[in-house]
Structure 1
Amino acid sequence: MPIGFLFRAAFWIAVVAAFAPVGLVSSDGMETPDEISQVIAQGQRLQQVCADLPALCDMAGEAGGLVSIATDETLSRVENWLDERETTAAETS
C-alpha cells in the first residue's frame, strides 16, 4: 500500500500547510523560502473560502473520503491480483 500512504501523506502535508501562519519561521530562526510562503498563503485563502462557504468544504471533505475508500479498495484488488499472478506463475514453473 505505498501509493495509499503517499496520497495520505500529501493530504496531511496540505492540511498542515493550510493551517500554518504566513510568517512561519523555523525552529532555528530562519525564514521560510518564498515557495513555502506562497503555499501557506494559498492555504489561508482556502480557509477563507471554507469560512465563507462551509457547505462546499463539507462536500469536498466527503468527496475526499470517498476517493480514499475507492483508492484503498483499488489498491487491495491490485495487490490480490498480483499475489494470484505470482502464485499461478510459481505453480506452472
Structure 2
Amino acid sequence: MVRVDTYEFDPYVMPVASNVDRFFDSYSRYLEALVADPRYQESGKTDLLFPWHATDILARDERLVELMRAGRFDSLMKNVDGETRAWAAKVMGTQG
C-alpha cells in the first residue's frame, strides 16, 4: 500500500504497508500513540503525523521493509525530495 499526496506542489508517494491488514495494524498503533500524547490529550493538537512520525511503527512491517530495500517502490518514489528519502531510510533502518 502506498500513500499518494496530490495536494502538494510536488505530488509524492510513500509506501506505508505491505498489505491492507498491516496498514490497519500500523495505523491503529499510530492512533494509540496519538491518544497517549499529553499535548493531544490536553488540546487535541499534535505534532505526530502519519506516516511521517510513524517510522518505528511502519518498520515493524517486515515485508514492507523488505520490499523497500529491494527497490519495489523506487519507480513510484522517483521524484521525492530529500526529506521523504530520509523518512524511507528510517523505515528501512538505514538511518538513525
Normalised TM-score (structure 2):
0.29
- Select the structure that is richer in strand: 2
Radius of gyration: which is bigger?
1
Normalised TM-score (structure 1):
0.30
